[in-house]
Structure 1
Amino acid sequence: MISLNTFDYILIIGFFALTLFIGIYVSKKSSKDSTEYFLSGRNMPWWLLGVSMVATTFSTDTPNFVTDIVRKDGVSANWMWWAFLITGLLTVFVYAKLWRKSDLKTDIEFYELRYGGKPAKFLRAFRALYLGFLFNIFAMAGVTLAAIKIGGIMLGLEPWETIIYAGTVTVIFSTLGGFKGVVYTDFILFFTAMAGAIGAAIYLVNIPEVGGIQALLSNENVTDKLSILPDFSNTEAIITLLIIPLSVQWWSSWYPGAEPGGGGYIAQRMLAAKDENNAIGATFFFNIMHYALRPWPWILVALASLVVFPDVASIKEAFPNIADNKLGHDLAYSAMLTKLPNGLLGLVLASLIAAYMSTISTHLNWGSSYIVNDFYKQHINKNASEKELVFTGKISTIILMIFSALFALYLQNAKQLFDIIIMFGAGTGLIFILRWFWWRINAWSEISAMIVSGVISLLFSSDVINELFFGAQGFFPSWAKFPLTVLITSIIWIVVTYLTKPENEETLTNFYKKTIPGGPSWKFYFTSIVKEKNIDINYEKSWNLSSEIKAILLGCLLIYSILFATGHWIYGNTKTAISITLLVTISIYLLSKIWKKLKNNFL
């Protein structure tokens, strides 16, 4: 357990006080109506929203998750989530402008814009409760679990104490300030969190036990973990860490913050933007920071932890009071932080508190927006006043916090949740991408995909099924579980799409007029099926797929180049770093040219 001095306490208490002040300061305006409470009046600039996206995904469980996979499988294991960059850039260059044009209050409201009848109402209500309540509680529980581990190792706190101290302040300012309070505090939380992460990485790499960057990179516990790419001689590693994520996972899975076609709290921020341009700018800034720059401080601490705590047993020996059901490689990040000096220690603790509060406050406001706009107003009280909706939002915020805190007490590590979420969303992602552009998709397509994906995931998680079908004794290799889930789910929802009726003409026409996605599928529908009628759209002008694909590819090249260049600069591979940095410059130039063309087309 660490010992805090007066300066540390001033930093931490001052940080709590500042966030509470912001929540109280904006509370009056935020409570004016539900649009203000959940979207801040739709007038947010790109830089504020982009920083908020980054701050939200910088959570207490994120460095723990990165530490866990780096210690077990090396730096290259991060490709299991780095591959989602493709999804992120698809959102930037294709879907951000569509979401902003939709003018919805939540992305779940999309269901009754794109689909019609009882199936659409069911989808909206079910997804509101499933994502806004159940799924959201899972996500927040993972964040709270990380906070519990940090509190236990660094401060000697019992799990319930961590929840009370950190959770109470977070739920107060989230309830009072609404979305505006969340975004404003995110701006402060981001810089605090980044300063703490970078400061911790620099100090911990240079402690006597590690001996500096060169000693770290040559340590026998670390040398086989350094590669940014998987070992190409290891077929299973290449398939699971590179081929499946880059060829299947990015488009087929639903994951918070990286939803195919945009969605969740990323969509909430796009919907809150001043205009389409600001929505695009925010998501692009987020993807650069999230994938290219932010992971490296965590990676360095994870690598340094292998020198100080080479295995889980050494962590247990150093921290004997940690319960066995909370013991794992992810604890190494918190264990390393106990070696920080006073002053920096206060800053890092404040940064971890910032990471926790930013993520939890976003999830609370986002989940509450689903419960209020997409369930309560639609099915409980259709005539609810704005005052009643805001009050319901505040109550649901508190309830979400309580349930997520209770669930966190039963979890062991963040990787558990990541695997569960990935499997339960397998096969559904393609619908979220195509539903904007393929008119034939209907509500039953989504319902069938959602059910099938869940059922198959549960079956494949069974020990009996695993032993029979996967692994050394089964019909398929262990890595085939995810692609099979995607394949079966995709086949079934496509068959269901053709076996059921398409949405009616009025619903499809209203959707097209509102968002103008363009493309050959819509052109076929309006020219061959409904004979244009009252639609007068230049399909070719609104459809920029070739330019958008070029922008996505150049964006991937740019951001992955920044990721690799940063890593090689840190590793001291100067020649390689210079070459990749040159590639970064070329990518920026080419992407700026494509962007000008896209911008002129949709403005």
Structure 2
Amino acid sequence: MHILAEMKLAGIDWTILISFFAVALGIGVVVSRQSGKSSGEFFLSGRHMPWWLLGFSMVATTFSTDTPNFVTDLVRTSGVWANWMWWAFIITGMLTVFIYAKLWRRSEVLTDVEFYELRYSGKSAAFLRGFRAIYLGVLFNIIIMASVSLAAIKIGETMLGWGPGQSVVVAMVVTVIFSSMGGFKGVILTDFLLFIIAMVGAFAAAYYAVSHPDIGGLDGLFNHEAVKQKLNLFPTQGDWNDTDTKNAVITLFVLPLAIQWWSVWYPGAEPGGGGYLAQRMLAAKNEKHAVGATLFFQVAHYAIRPWPWIIVALASLVVFPEISDIQKAFPDAKKVAHDSGYPAMLTFLPAGWLGLVLTSLVAAYMSTISTHLNWGSSYVVNDFWKRFIKPDASEKQLVLVGRVSTVVMMGLTALLALSMESALDNFKLITHIGAGTGLLFILRWFWWRINPASEIAAMLVSFAVAMWLRFGVEKGSFEVWQELCLIVGITTAAWLLTALFTKPSDTAKLRSFIEKTNPGGPGWKKIITEAEQAGTPIKPLHDAVNLPLGILNTVLGCVLVYGILLGSGLIMYGQTGMGGAFVAAAVLAGIGIIATWKKSVS
């Protein structure tokens, strides 16, 4: 059995790792002067970024260090099909591509929470903007970064023999220096390099995983008794027979496809767009670049990237069948769980490749954390400090506040990461806190009735019910899927009733919102009709979004991505006929998108 103490980084491994750090810091130094000119440069790089660079950045950001660990946890505990827990978010993503990307770019806000005072009116809109800036940009953001940092701790334990504190400190120092110097432009430029390194590392990890002597290539892996039962891309009839397995199927497969994709807020997969993805849409040259960047992200994130992680996860079932096997191999590790299977497999890499793969994981960590730091500090600066504390602050002062808040958030992240245990548990906590708010984020662009009170109700009720279920109810009283349904149902009812029985935003604000963004759809008919009857018709700056075409392309986009994702998996399994059919469907969907592209982005 492989023992932790026997694994050492060779000189070439350290050279690769240190060289990467030097390049990342060099980019931060080079762009620091330009990024420090104004808050617009520091957080959006002047709104002139091309689609391909933004697309690479979106993909690099969502490839966080904890993602392969999370996938490994799903595969080891339930099987490949359990990844529908996050694959279902493709539907959300495609809606963002073909409907919401252009709307965000039209809004011309600096952050997505500035949207609140573009869409709503009065003191409640201002309160909502300020509160969400701290709630999302600081508190929620720190939880997400701590979850990512937990993966860094597990990698440090298994690959380097470091303790949790040492792993956190080393992982964060370079990232926080780089993020506070280079701003958004530094993040974007470095993301391009990080994505390439991360993908090379992911494929190298998969190659050497199946080359392990206990596995014997892909055929040996897929025919191994420990792996066969984990290969299904969809739950089988037998999965419904056992109560525990049935609950897992409902939680990981049925619920994500039926409810989760439209009802749950999750960073990187927000219904209606938002967060750091919205930040990149807002930084695009124009609407076409915003749409192109988001489409590239959805295809690369869901169709291309998952299989290398899945292969390593399956291989870990052969080499480390149980958690106890991982613990025996790494006796000094403190936070061993199923998600430790991924970094455990990486310890078999040869010199050179070990350094490259370790660098790829460091790159993934830096990409995600630097994005979250820049995104979070943009909220602190633009939507809290400048809006409420010091409206007359100079651009130089705003950049300084952004850099200080970056350092503070990183320190708080380190403290929280040391108390966490599992990537899958963190995912469930985050989805529960955001459950029930998703439909509101989808509809607020298209229905005049939604107001600040409904947003506040959604946020507070969702958080309150999630905390009650986590701390106020005896553990095991509800299944995970029952908890999610309960949160979604109560929260959705709460904000819908609030929207219907409280005063909407001022008519003038609603008219100006239509004029600036022009989402279209029947939800604005009342406001448009009233304006015409008053003799002051609204004159939008843009054509209305073509919703039927957007929905059609959303369906085609889902077929495209699912066709590539599932087809490539089936072909690897040796089921070339069925796999070829999925790929053919993807090709036809791609042709359909190309045929309607000009109408989609005009």
TM over 0.5: yes
Q: Residue 428 of structure 1 is aligned with which of 437, 441, 462?
A: 437
The structural deviation recorded for 1:243 is 2.2
Give the partner amino acid of 2:339. Answer: D
> Partner residue of 2:127?
122
The structural deviation recorded for 1:484 is 2.1
The structural deviation recorded for 1:100 is 0.2
1:330 matched to 2:332: no
> Partner residue of 2:243?
none
Q: How does 1:248-263 map to 2 (within 5 A)?
A: 248-263=259-274
2:337 alignment partner, SS class:
coil
Q: Residue 324 of structure 2 is aligned with which of 313, 324, 329?
A: 313
The structural deviation recorded for 1:597 is 2.5
1:192 matched to 2:197: yes
Question: Does the CA contact (< 8 Å) of 1:12 and 1:347 recur in 2?
Answer: yes
> Partner residue of 2:486?
484
Distance 1:448 1:45 in 2: 38
Q: Residue 570 of structure 2 is aligned with which of 551, 568, 571?
A: 568
Q: How does 1:445-460 map to 2 (within 5 A)?
A: 445-460=454-469
Question: Does the CA contact (< 8 Å) of 1:192 and 1:351 recur in 2?
Answer: yes
Give the partner amino acid of 1:377. Answer: K
The structural deviation recorded for 1:492 is 1.4
Q: Residue 356 of structure 1 is aligned with which of 349, 352, 365?
A: 365
The structural deviation recorded for 1:536 is 3.9
Distance 2:391 2:545 in 1: 37
Distance 1:466 1:319 in 2: 30
Distance 2:332 2:301 in 1: 34
Distance 2:419 2:119 in 1: 39
Moved more, 171-180 or 158-167: 158-167
Distance 1:562 1:216 in 2: 22
Q: Could you state the TM-score of these two structures normalised by the residue count of structure 1?
A: 0.96
Distance 1:275 1:199 in 2: 37
Q: Cα–Cα, structure 1 residues 209 and 520, in superposed 2: closer, same or farther, change >3 Å?
A: same
Number of aligned residues: 591
Q: Cα–Cα, structure 1 residues 265 and 400, in superposed 2: closer, same or farther, change >3 Å?
A: same
The structural deviation recorded for 1:467 is 5.1
Distance 2:90 2:425 in 1: 22
The structural deviation recorded for 1:379 is 1.4
Moved more, 263-272 or 565-574: 565-574
Q: Residue 383 of structure 1 is aligned with which of 387, 392, 398?
A: 392
Q: Cα–Cα, structure 1 residues 126 and 538, in superposed 2: closer, same or farther, change >3 Å?
A: closer
2:528 alignment partner, SS class:
helix
> Partner residue of 1:475?
none
1:535 alignment partner, SS class:
coil
Distance 2:531 2:140 in 1: 39
Question: Does the CA contact (< 8 Å) of 2:531 and 2:537 recur in 1?
Answer: no
Give the partner amino acid of 2:550. Answer: E
Give the partner amino acid of 1:495. Answer: L
1:102 matched to 2:104: no
Give the partner amino acid of 2:272. Answer: G
> Partner residue of 2:418?
409
Distance 2:410 2:476 in 1: 38
1:202 matched to 2:207: yes
Q: Cα–Cα, structure 1 residues 5 and 234, in superposed 2: closer, same or farther, change >3 Å?
A: closer
Distance 2:369 2:237 in 1: 39
Give the partner amino acid of 1:557. Answer: V
Distance 1:530 1:221 in 2: 68
Question: Does the CA contact (< 8 Å) of 2:60 and 2:367 recur in 1?
Answer: yes
Distance 1:555 1:232 in 2: 29
The structural deviation recorded for 1:240 is 2.3
2:456 alignment partner, SS class:
helix
Q: Residue 518 of structure 1 is aligned with which of 493, 517, 520?
A: 520
Q: Cα–Cα, structure 1 residues 592 and 519, in superposed 2: closer, same or farther, change >3 Å?
A: same
| Cα distance per residue 1:246-288 (max 9 Å; x no partner) | 1210010100000000000000000000000000000000000
Q: Residue 15 of structure 2 is aligned with which of 10, 18, 37?
A: 10
The structural deviation recorded for 1:24 is 0.1
Question: Does the CA contact (< 8 Å) of 1:96 and 1:262 recur in 2?
Answer: yes
Q: Residue 156 of structure 1 is aligned with which of 152, 157, 161?
A: 161
The structural deviation recorded for 1:498 is 1.5
> Partner residue of 1:474?
none
Question: Does the CA contact (< 8 Å) of 2:511 and 2:538 recur in 1?
Answer: no
Give the partner amino acid of 2:362. Answer: I
| Cα distance per residue 1:509-567 (max 9 Å; x no partner) | 11111111111221222204773643345899614111111100010001000001111
> Partner residue of 2:254?
243
Distance 1:552 1:195 in 2: 30
Give the partner amino acid of 2:216. Answer: G
1:292 matched to 2:303: yes
| Cα distance per residue 1:180-209 (max 9 Å; x no partner) | 000000000000000001011011111102
> Partner residue of 2:548?
546
Moved more, 348-357 or 1-10: 1-10
1:535 matched to 2:546: no
Moved more, 458-467 or 141-150: 458-467
1:86 matched to 2:116: no
Give the partner amino acid of 1:221. Answer: A
Give the partner amino acid of 1:571. Answer: Y
1:221 alignment partner, SS class:
helix
> Partner residue of 1:442?
451
Give the partner amino acid of 2:308. Answer: P
1:75 matched to 2:84: no
Q: Residue 280 of structure 1 is aligned with which of 283, 291, 298?
A: 291
Q: Cα–Cα, structure 1 residues 417 and 238, in superposed 2: closer, same or farther, change >3 Å?
A: closer
Distance 2:516 2:433 in 1: 31
Q: Cα–Cα, structure 1 residues 498 and 334, in superposed 2: closer, same or farther, change >3 Å?
A: same
Question: Does the CA contact (< 8 Å) of 2:516 and 2:542 recur in 1?
Answer: no
Distance 1:432 1:173 in 2: 33
1:270 matched to 2:275: no
> Partner residue of 1:214?
219
The structural deviation recorded for 1:479 is 2.6
| Cα distance per residue 1:189-240 (max 9 Å; x no partner) | 0000000010110111111021111111111111110011122443434432
> Partner residue of 2:428?
419
> Partner residue of 1:131?
136
Give the partner amino acid of 2:314. Answer: L
The structural deviation recorded for 1:417 is 1.3
> Partner residue of 2:51?
46
1:327 alignment partner, SS class:
coil
Q: How does 1:497-516 map to 2 (within 5 A)?
A: 497-516=499-518
Q: Cα–Cα, structure 1 residues 595 and 582, in superposed 2: closer, same or farther, change >3 Å?
A: same
Q: Residue 473 of structure 2 is aligned with which of 460, 464, 476?
A: 464
Distance 1:189 1:95 in 2: 27
The structural deviation recorded for 1:437 is 0.6
Give the partner amino acid of 2:312. Answer: V
Q: Cα–Cα, structure 1 residues 89 and 132, in superposed 2: closer, same or farther, change >3 Å?
A: same
Give the partner amino acid of 1:444. Answer: A
1:452 alignment partner, SS class:
helix
Distance 1:434 1:68 in 2: 34
| Cα distance per residue 1:335-387 (max 9 Å; x no partner) | 10000000111110110110111001001100000000000111111110000
| Cα distance per residue 1:305-328 (max 9 Å; x no partner) | 0000000010111111111xx120
| Cα distance per residue 1:384-423 (max 9 Å; x no partner) | 0000000000000000111001110110011121111111
Distance 1:443 1:567 in 2: 45
Q: Could you state the TM-score of these two structures normalised by the residue count of structure 2?
A: 0.96
